[in-house]
């Protein structure tokens, strides 16, 4: 009898020991270090062109810095060097895609969004390969923000939705209570506008959306994509031994990023006069690392 009692007590002790180990593991998992990616929109950041060099607004056009309310990206990649080809670096995020509209496209209805200084992505650092990264690439998909416009001599503010991804399947979306039913793929440059309860939509010319890529010579990007490239000032190092979160803030330049063709040369967007949206691309990317 004593023999069985001893076995029973040993079994209980073993059970408690396993329970404590499991609790410890759960606690360790709950405090695992993460990679946190945030968005920032800066109207004072340098205004860049497709080659990553400072540029001014094109002659005959005018521009303004919009107030971005939210944005979505479809792809984020860390690149070790300037010669790392697109897709061969460390891909930390790939958004949902679909062929419902025919060809491969970003699935807008399942996209995720973030506003200024908001978190877009959180993943365990254990999911990121150890290494030193000098560059980040972000494939932008959607921007939504406020722009100023002129109507009958009066200044107003409206909301612009810009689909800047390579191809986007859209069922429907809403701007300030106004519904847009699309149910089709839309190529880069599709836009919709709402103001004063009225809506309009259109398509910017092919290739007109600016996509800054300072690595155009060593690591080109496909035409029609929106893969913006930026350099870490002091690099990003992942050792695999991190005990604290690593925060990467992707600061995008919105410096005169909304550009249109001028009919009335007054620097104000006047769609009723036939002024056309020509460019909605962000004007540069500066990634910053903090803990």
**Grouped pLDDT means (10 residues each) for the chain, 291 residues:** 37 38 42 95 97 95 96 98 96 97 97 97 97 97 96 95 95 94 95 91 87 94 90 96 96 96 95 89 95 76
- Based on the fold, state whether residues 24 and 141 are members of the same structural domain: no
- Based on the fold, state whether residues 48 and 177 are members of the same structural domain: yes
- Based on the fold, state whether residues 38 and 27 are members of the same structural domain: no
Cβ–Cβ < 8 Å for 161, 173 = yes
Query: Domain limits at 51?
Result: 34-290
Please tell me the distance from the alpha carbon of residue 47 to that of residue 52, in angstroms, as a whole number: 9
Among 209, 230, 255, 281, which residue's Cα sits nearest to residue 42? 255
**196-205: Cβ within 8 A, 24+ apart:** 196/156, 196/158, 199/175, 200/271, 202/276, 202/277, 204/277, 204/278, 204/279, 204/280, 205/278
- Based on the fold, state whether residues 14 and 112 are members of the same structural domain: no
- Based on the fold, state whether residues 92 and 118 are members of the same structural domain: yes
What pLDDT score does 277 carry?
85
Q: What's the total number of domains in the chain? A: 2
- Based on the fold, state whether residues 21 and 68 are members of the same structural domain: no
Collapsed DSSP state (helix, strand, coil) of residue 6: helix
What pLDDT score does 30 carry?
53
What pLDDT score does 125 carry?
96
- Based on the fold, state whether residues 217 and 84 are members of the same structural domain: yes
- Based on the fold, state whether residues 193 and 218 are members of the same structural domain: yes
pTM equals 0.86
- Based on the fold, state whether residues 189 and 51 are members of the same structural domain: yes
What pLDDT score does 24 carry?
42
- Based on the fold, state whether residues 4 and 45 are members of the same structural domain: no
- Based on the fold, state whether residues 92 and 20 are members of the same structural domain: no
Query: Torsion-angle region of residue 197: left (phi > 0), alpha (psi -120 to 50) or beta?
Result: left
- Based on the fold, state whether residues 22 and 148 are members of the same structural domain: no
């Amino acid at each position: 009898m004593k023999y069985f009692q001893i076995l029973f007590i040993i079994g209980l002790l073993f059970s408690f020991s396993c329970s404590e180990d499991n609790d410890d593991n759960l606690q360790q998992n709950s405090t695992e270090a993460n990679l946190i990616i945030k968005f920032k929109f800066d109207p004072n950041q340098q205004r860049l062109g497709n080659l990553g060099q400072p540029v001014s607004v094109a002659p005959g056009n005018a521009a303004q810095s919009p107030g971005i309310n939210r944005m979505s990206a479809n792809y984020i990649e860390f690149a070790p060097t300037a010669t790392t080809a697109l897709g061969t670096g460390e891909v930390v995020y790939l958004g949902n895609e679909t062929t419902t509209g025919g060809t491969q496209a970003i699935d807008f209805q399942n996209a995720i969004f973030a506003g200024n200084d908001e978190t877009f992505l959180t993943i365990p650092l254990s999911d990121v390969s150890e290494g030193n990264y000098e560059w980040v690439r972000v494939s932008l998909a959607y921007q939504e923000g406020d722009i100023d416009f002129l109507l009958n001599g009066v200044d107003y503010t409206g909301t612009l939705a810009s689909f800047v991804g390579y191809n986007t399947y859209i069922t429907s979306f809403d701007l300030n209570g106004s519904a847009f039913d699309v149910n089709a793929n839309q190529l880069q440059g599709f836009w919709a506008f709402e103001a004063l309860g009225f809506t309009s939509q259109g398509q910017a010319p092919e290739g007109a959306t600016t996509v800054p890529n300072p690595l155009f010579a060593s690591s080109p990007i496909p035409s029609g994509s929106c893969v913006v490239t930026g350099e870490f000032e002091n690099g990003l190092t992942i050792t695999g031994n991190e005990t604290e979160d690593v925060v990467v803030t992707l600061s995008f330049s919105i410096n005169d990023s909304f550009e249109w063709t001028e009919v009335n040369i007054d620097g104000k967007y006047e769609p009723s006069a036939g002024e056309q949206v020509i460019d909605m691309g962000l004007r540069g990317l500066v990634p910053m690392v903090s803990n």
